[in-house]
Amino acid sequence: MLLIDGADAPYWNGLADGALMLPRCEACGTWLWPASDRCGSCGSIQVAWIERAMTGTIFSWTRTWHRFGFTEALDLPFVSIVATVDDCDIRLLGRLDDPDQLDPQIGEAISGRIGSTRVENRDIPTIIWSRNA
């Protein structure tokens, strides 16, 4: 699982450089996620990587209390979310700051910053989302 491997390599490289880059079909404008090498809608293989702001809304969430393997670096409990990114049709998996353990609300506006998640001996770039003040 090399970060720079696969169709989503520009996403990981973008986060490493401080930007959220997401793929869109150049021919028909369809957002392609999971990242792919061919647009299933129109058949084009021209994929453009576009920068999006790290703003969005909560699509759904869970708060994890059980210590599952690979989560050793995260304090329990922690909140994982599916975030709908503004101005594109892509949803991303991420984590949400949860200082007061207030249950997230679906549709709630959020903003992200780039952090990382330690898994075994790797630091994976991660968007950490917070509720908008």
Partner 1 sequence: MTPLYGSTAVAGIGVRQYKRGTSPLPERGVLTQAVIDACADAGFDPADVDGFVSYGDDHNEPVRLMSDLGTRELKWSSMVWGGGGGGIAGAFGLAAAAIISGQASAVIVFRALVEGSSGRLSAAVMAHHLNDHMLAAGIVAPAQVCAIRANRMYEHHGVSRAVAEELVRASYYHGSRNPDAVAYGRELDLDAMRNSRWIAEPFRLFDCSRENDGAGAFLMVSAERARDLKKPPVYLLGCANGAEKGWGDLLENDDEALYPTAGFRPIARRLYADTGLSPADIDVVQLYENFSAQGVASLIDHGFCTYENVAEVIRFDNLIAPTGKLPANTGGGNFAQGFIHGIGTAIEAVKQLRGESANPVPDAKIGLLAGGPGAPTVSSAIFGNIVP
Q: Using DSSP bridges, classify how beta strands 20-25 and 55-64 pair: parallel, antiparallel or unpaired.
A: unpaired
Q: Residue 2 Cβ, how far from partner 1 at the closest point, in Å?
A: 9
Binding residue for partner 1 (CB under 8 A) from 78, 88, 97, 111?
A: 78
Q: Is 74 in the site for partner 1 (CB under 8 A)?
A: yes
The site that binds partner 1 (CB under 8 A) totals a number of residues, namely 39
Q: Is 49 in the site for partner 1 (CB under 8 A)?
A: no
Q: Is 55 in the site for partner 1 (CB under 8 A)?
A: no
Task: Measure the CA angle with vertex 23, ends 21 and 28; round to 5°.
Answer: 140
CA distance 34 to 2: 16
Contact (CB, 8 A) for 125 and 116: yes
Contact (CB, 8 A) for 48 and 55: no
3-class DSSP state for residue 53? coil
Contact (CB, 8 A) for 110 and 55: yes
Binding residue for partner 1 (CB under 8 A) from 65, 100, 121, 133?
A: 65
Question: Which residue, 28 or 93, is less far from partner 1 as judged by CB?
Answer: 93
Residues that bind partner 1 (CB under 8 A): 1, 3, 8, 12, 33-34, 59-66, 68-71, 74, 77-78, 80-82, 90-95, 103, 105-106, 116-117, 119, 124-126
